[in-house]
Amino acid sequence: MKKKRLSHSYNQARSRGSRVVGARKNRLFNISLKKAVVYCAVIVAIVLCTKVYLMQRSELLALKEQKSVLENEITTIQEDILHLQQEASKLDDPDYIEVVARQEYGMVGKDDIVFVPARGVVE
């Protein structure tokens, strides 16, 4: 009977807005220690997962940028290889060899007339 009376007086005092001895003032912080630990663990896990996600995303963006740079280099090198292969195939042509010898090495042909400037002549 005594328990009913305490419960009844508690409910009456609570409905009037009075303080009851032993009653908690704020229900917001009325959680157990186990629940608090679980909540903190969940929050820490979420923060860590977010951090890992952001780090991996930045690494992925950097790797994509590096991939595009390397693909551009590959394209340039393939163009150079093609150009060199074409140049190498021309080396079997005697006319091309003659043009290269005249332009790059200053050589003259059999029927060419060569003018050599005299030393000491000022123009």
- Does 89 map to a domain? yes
Going from the C-alpha of 15 to that of each of 4, 10, 12, 18, 20, the distances in angstroms are 16, 9, 5, 8, 11
- Its domain, for residue 58, covers 28-105
Question: How many independent structural domains does the chain possess?
Answer: 1
pLDDT of residue 91: 86
**Cβ-contact 19, 13 below 8 angstroms:** yes
**Cβ-contact 23, 10 below 8 angstroms:** yes
- Does 98 map to a domain? yes
- Does 101 map to a domain? yes
Going from the C-alpha of 43 to that of each of 4, 34, 81, 103, 121, the distances in angstroms are 41, 14, 57, 76, 92
The pTM assigned to this predicted structure is: 0.47
- Does 3 map to a domain? no
- Does 6 map to a domain? no
Quick: pLDDT tens for 66-102.
Answer: 999 999 999 999 999 999 999 899 888 888 888 888 8
Count each helix (H run) and each strand (E run) in the chain, helices first.
3, 0
**Cβ-contact 57, 64 below 8 angstroms:** no
